[in-house]
Amino acid sequence: MKVALGIMLLGTASLLGAGQAIAAEGPRASTAAPPLSLIDRALADLSSGDQARQDAAANVLIEQGDSSLLPKLEEIRNNADRSVRLAIKPLMDLLKNRSNLASPDADRRRSAAADLGSSGRPVVMPWLEAALAGEPNRWVRYTLEESLALIRLASDDPDTKIKAAAKLGELRSSNAVPALKELLQQTGTDATDQQKALANAARAAIGQIDIWASWANAFETIFRGISLSSILLIMSLGLAIVFGLMGVINMAHGELMMIGAYATFVTQECFRAYFPAGLFDYYFIAAMPIAFCVVALCGLILEATVIRFLYGRPLETMLATWGVSLVLIQAARVYFGDLTSVVAPSWLSGGAQVMVGVYLPYNRIFIIVLSILCVAGIYFLLFRTGVGLRVRAVMQNRDMSSCLGIPTRKVDAYTFAFGSGLAGLAGCALTLIGNVEPGLGQNYIVDSFMVVVTGGVGKLMGTIVASLGIGGLNKFLEPSFGAVYGKVLILVLVILFLQRRPSGLFTIKGRHADA
């Protein structure tokens, strides 16, 4: 019977039929199709002034009604006075959630199940059981079971309660902790054996849940660390090319990221204005190459107008590019205003639940994947192509490369543009996790320079390891020290680290005179 029910629920979503079938199981209804007059009478009773009749009507409606009643209820609600409105609201919620249990969208099914569970009404149990029988999605099933157990935990029968507590413990349900703790507190010293057994079950369940929660917490901390590392990495990669490889210290790097973020924003606005609505979700795919190219172009201009005069004078470069960054920030502020944000495409919003209590947002996963792809791409470009060979040759020995006929000026310009383009890509990725604002680049620039300094100049591997290290350490220290002192501690650690290895993690081996 239950299987048949589930198939009906899912396959045809014939709500009326399902409602009737459940009603048929219920104790009161004796016929398969409830007399329509019963529901009509209940609807009429709802707006009667009599409290008892209202309650009875509500019960009838909950047990026998379905979502087809919602418009009628809405109408009654709009015309009724406050007390009736208050009475109808939970009724409507229940019915709405009940129909949502059959929704094709798993997230809606899940939140409906959670809502029904927290309603605490035993009457919803058959609905949940019916939904559970036919539910294909693991996490919806989990929530259904959790809700059932939560309702059972509130029942009067001690045996059911003990079983429910054990079940919740098995489920590692963190939602159940308050209810379980309450149970424990209610158990006084003069408790009966049954009560003691219940208390023991609750205690065991809480223990199970707590242990699980700490694991889940550790797992999430690790994920957050990796996520921050990937953000740092994607920002530092451009720097690793520009600063690490070319030795140019570009303080406007953060502002190049900011331009990338605004390029994404403008792309989004263009899609909104000039493209059909169905394509809107794909704007981000277009925005990535656009951001890369726009910022690479900015990089070319910056190289031609400022940087090329300052090769070999890092301190001067630093000051001049800081000036550029001030101008760019103010220009963005004047043109775009203070704060805008990008709507993440729907395929990047939400997240994946990998285990109970651990929820990984898609945008973070996307950035991790993107940063890995970038690293792979850069490695390929630098070490497997002729262009990369030239770049490396110029960076290692400019004069010799020039003698061998490599156009060093051009290589410089293109390398700088490529590093800038990576910054643009980073800015594009940053729009997924934060606002787009003129000061966007400033927030991360010191961090990413620390990454490059710690990693050592001239080695990509150093940048990767250092960003993983600093990002991971940051998230590891944050819970115990707070964000600010975590940062201070990292600075201290970096300084102490540089005591041991003054030129960073990975250095070019050889007898380089440090001039």
Partner 1 sequence: MAEPVVTVQGQRQAGEGLIFWLSGFVLLVGLPLLNVLPDPDSWLHVSDFALNRFGKFLCFAILALGLDLIWGYTGILSLGHGVFFGFGAYAIGMHLMLTIGTESVYGSALPDFMVWNQVKELPLFWKPFYSFGVALAGAVLVPTLFAFIFGFLAFRSRIKGVYFAIITQALALCAWLVFNRNETNLGGTNGLTDFKQILGFRLSEPGTQRALYILTVLFLGAAYAVCRWIIRSRAGRVLVAIRDSEQRVLFSGYSPANYKLFVFVVSAALAGLAGALYVPQVGIITPAQIGVLPSLEMVIWVAVGGRGTLVGAALGAVGVNWARSVLTNYFPELWPFFLGGLFIAVVLLFPDGLVGLFTRVREKWLASGLWVRKSPASSEHNG
Residues in touch with partner 1 (CB under 8 A)? 249, 306, 309-310, 314-320, 322-331, 334, 442, 446, 449-450, 453, 484-485, 487-488, 491, 494-496, 498-500, 502, 513-515
Cα–chain center distance at 309: 44
Q: How far is the CB of 352 from partner 1 (least distance, A)?
A: 34
**Closer Cβ to partner 1, 184 or 310, answer by number:** 310
**Closer Cβ to partner 1, 82 or 500, answer by number:** 500
**Closer Cβ to partner 1, 60 or 328, answer by number:** 328
Q: How far is the CB of 82 from partner 1 (least distance, A)?
A: 41
Q: How far is the CB of 318 from partner 1 (least distance, A)?
A: 6
Distances in Å between the Cα of 491 and the Cα atoms of 449, 451, 453, 498 are 12, 11, 12, 11
**Closer Cβ to partner 1, 247 or 289, answer by number:** 247
**Closer Cβ to partner 1, 322 or 362, answer by number:** 322
Other residues' Cβ atoms within 10 Å of the Cβ of residue 383? 11
Rounded Cα distance between 256 and 294, Å, is 10
Q: How far is the CB of 512 from partner 1 (least distance, A)?
A: 12
Q: How far is the CB of 514 from partner 1 (least distance, A)?
A: 8
**Closer Cβ to partner 1, 280 or 322, answer by number:** 322
List 353's β-bridge partners, or say none: 359
Q: How far is the CB of 460 from partner 1 (least distance, A)?
A: 18
Q: How far is the CB of 326 from partner 1 (least distance, A)?
A: 3
Distances in Å between the Cα of 248 and the Cα atoms of 225, 255, 290, 377, 415 are 29, 16, 25, 22, 11
**Which two three-digit tokens encode residue 503?**
């030129």
Q: How far is the CB of 495 from partner 1 (least distance, A)?
A: 6
**Which two three-digit tokens encode residue 106?**
């798993």
Q: Are 227 and 361 contacting, i.e. CB atoms less than 8 angstroms apart?
A: no
Q: How far is the CB of 86 from partner 1 (least distance, A)?
A: 40
Q: How far is the CB of 493 from partner 1 (least distance, A)?
A: 11
Is 372 buried (19+), middle (13-18) or exposed (0-12) by CB count in 10 A? middle
Own/partner pairs, 364-370, CB within 8 angstroms, 24+ separation: 364/223, 364/227, 364/230, 364/433, 366/429, 366/432, 367/227, 367/230, 367/231, 367/234, 367/429, 367/432, 367/433, 368/226, 368/227, 368/230, 370/230, 370/234, 370/425, 370/429
Rounded Cα distance between 13 and 104, Å, is 9
Q: How far is the CB of 232 from partner 1 (least distance, A)?
A: 14
**Closer Cβ to partner 1, 81 or 514, answer by number:** 514
**Closer Cβ to partner 1, 262 or 366, answer by number:** 262
Q: How far is the CB of 300 from partner 1 (least distance, A)?
A: 17
Q: Are 288 and 324 contacting, i.e. CB atoms less than 8 angstroms apart?
A: no
**Closer Cβ to partner 1, 339 or 488, answer by number:** 488
Phi, psi of 26 (to 5 degrees): -60, 155
Q: Are 187 and 196 contacting, i.e. CB atoms less than 8 angstroms apart?
A: yes
Helix axes 158-171, 193-239, angle to 10 degrees: 20
Q: Are 396 and 459 contacting, i.e. CB atoms less than 8 angstroms apart?
A: no
**Closer Cβ to partner 1, 90 or 314, answer by number:** 314
Q: Are 461 and 328 contacting, i.e. CB atoms less than 8 angstroms apart?
A: no
Rounded Cα distance between 126 and 300, Å, is 67
Q: How far is the CB of 461 from partner 1 (least distance, A)?
A: 19
**Closer Cβ to partner 1, 317 or 401, answer by number:** 317
**Closer Cβ to partner 1, 22 or 252, answer by number:** 252
Is 197 buried (19+), middle (13-18) or exposed (0-12) by CB count in 10 A? middle
**Closer Cβ to partner 1, 322 or 476, answer by number:** 322
Q: Which three-class secondary structure state does DSSP give residue 312?
A: coil
Distances in Å between the Cα of 500 and the Cα atoms of 111, 338, 463, 496 are 54, 43, 18, 7
